[in-house]
Amino acid sequence: MIFKPKAILCLLMFFLLIVGCSTKVTRVQSDSTIDITGKWNDTDSRLVAEEMIRDCLSQRWLYKWESENRRPTVIVGKIVNKSHEHISVETFVKDVERALLNSGKVDFVATKTEREQLRDEKADMAENASVQTRKDMGEETGADLMMIGTINSIPDQDGGKAVVFYQTNMELVEIESNRKVWIGEKKIKKYVERAKVRF
């Protein structure tokens, strides 16, 4: 058998081309940081939520409840996306809820949409469920505090270079008195550079 260097080289290049073009998937840790486009991503969402809640739960407003040996009931209200990116606010809200609930320092109630679903379910139970298992209307836990917030961004770009500044503001408001008991903010600044040319 005669080996021709040129043929081998061609074959090698062909295989490299095939391998280079094929889809490659690698499982990574869900809390690993991977930035591809520079846009707001899961890492930003998680980091902001965790840091906000850590700050929130370390402030003085909680002492009032702890001294009464009570856990406040919190609801996450509207987090308005005022940025220039379509951010999945729902994911962010869930991150906030998870961080709050896992702290064990507060109780949680379902959001407005979830409550409507639960009420529908109870209405259905009233007709169809057995008396022993039926859940009654009017027994819901009212929230003491509502968490609201905004996600803002200031982009500054010129050609392939961009600086994006995200500022997330969150506030905890007492529902009965409209008193703000905590205000937190988290800032993220990113520098994104895009290549002008590729092969």
Partner 1 sequence: MKNRTFLCCFAVTAISVLVSCAGRSAMRLEKLADVTLTGNYQSAIESIRKNPNLYGKNSQLLYNLDIGVLFHYAHMYDSSNLYLQRAADIYNELFTRSVTNEAAAILVNDNVRPYRGMPFELTMMHQLITFNYLAKGDVDEALVEVRRAQLLFDELERKDRKDTKYSSDGMFHYVASIAYDAVGESDNSMISLYKSIKAFQNGPVPLPRPIGEFAYRMFILNDRPDDNVQLGLKGGEDTEGAENFTNNSSEIVFIGYAGRGPSLDEKVWRGTYVKDGLLVVNHVGPNGVVETISRPAPYIADSEIKKASKGKTTSSGTTFHIKFALPALKKTPSRTAGFSVRCSGISQTFSSIVINDLEKQAQKYLDDTKAATLSRTVVRVVLRTIAAQKAKAEIQTGNALANLFLNVGTDVLTDQMERADTRSCFLLPRTVQIARIPVKPGTYSLDVSTHDKSGNIIGTRKFVDVEVKARRKTFVFYSSFK
Q: Which residues of this chain interact with partner 1, rule CB under 8 A?
A: 37, 80-87, 153, 155, 157-160, 194-199
Q: Which is nearer to partner 1, 38 or 185 (CB)?
A: 38
Rank residues 84 and 98 by Cβ distance to partner 1 and give the closer one: 84
CB of 78 to partner 1, least distance (A): 9
Least Å distance, CB 21 to partner 1, is 13
Coil, strand or helix: which one is 171? strand
In the complex with partner 1, the residue whose CB is nearer, 84 or 94, is: 84
Closest separation in Å from C-beta 73 to partner 1: 26
Cβ proximity to partner 1: between 10 and 80 the closer is 80
Q: Label residue 14 exposed, middle or buried (CB < 10 Å: 0-12, 13-18, 19+).
A: exposed
Using DSSP, state whether 136 is helix, strand or coil: coil
DSSP string, 41-93: -HHHHHHHHHHHHHHHHTSTHHHHHHHTT---EEEEEEEEEESSS---HHHHH
